[in-house]
Amino acid sequence: MREFDGNVAVVTGASGGIGRASALAFAGKGASVVVADVKAEEGIETVTMIKEMGGNALFLRTDVSNSADVRMLVGKAVETYGRLDYAHNNAGIGGANAPTADYPEEDWNRIIAINLTGVWLCMKYEIPQMVKQGKGAIVNTASVMGLTGLTQVCGYTAAKHGVVGLTKVAAMEYASQGVRIAAVCPGFVETPMMDEAARIGGVEKDAFYAALGGFSSAKRVGKPEEIAEAVIWLCSDAASFVTGSTLVVDGGWTSGYALR
């Protein structure tokens, strides 16, 4: 018997990168997976990958910044599978690169809406179902930028700091009702979002990742699967006494940040 057999997971931003890796990892442990994203074609590809490995999944097009979409997502997951045991609130965007005073207001509003409000909306609808069941685990994707700062990315940094704080508050509120809530803080990871950053910057992808990897103690960027393994552990019974925590998975990037 696999560890998550009979359980149900929702993963947002699961059309690729960390979200896809997480969805596949949940399925590999036996969970039925609800794949959520605004990118329908890629999201359906994730479902196909899960089914090809013998798993059970469905795709729901979801804009996490839209309350009605998120309410539908959680409602449909429960309607289809009867419960909700795990949630990986992972959907996010990179946003603009500009100094704080020059940061475009429309970019600020969009990144806060998706990266921060989206996480809150997901928890708003996930938590009541888990409380009703008496048990559940939620992992929110924050970032090393939720623990430190980086120039030119004030919107992303502010949103991810918000996710860390929101995670702590919600964890304190619902721990006594059986719901554990934590955040995972990835460093630089090889994802479609980072590929796009390289393209926008006019940098060859391999050179871009090599340069980013040089900032970590591990001297490389991470793989989506490495972040997914952290998410799975946080949701598992092995982490039964872990809540309100931020698990940093960055190859040692933040540990040496002050030395650079």
What span, in angstroms and rounded, lies between the C-alpha atoms of 241 and 6?
22
What span, in angstroms and rounded, lies between the C-alpha atoms of 187 and 140?
14
pLDDT in tens, 123-181: 999 999 999 999 999 999 999 999 999 899 999 999 999 999 999 999 999 999 999 99
**All structural domains of the chain with their residue ranges:** 8-187+222-250
pTM of the model: 0.95
Query: What is the percentage of the chain residues whose pLDDT exceeds 70?
Result: 96
pLDDT in tens, 60-113: 999 999 999 999 999 999 999 999 999 999 999 998 889 999 999 999 999 999
- Residues annotated as part of the active site: 156
Mean pLDDT of all residues in 25-47:
98
What span, in angstroms and rounded, lies between the C-alpha atoms of 90 and 146?
14
Residue pointed to by tokens 């540990």: 255
Q: What is the CATH number of domain 8-187+222-250?
A: 3.40.50.720
Query: What is the dihedral angle through the alpha carbons of 98, 102, 108, 110, rounded to the nearest 10 degrees?
Result: -80
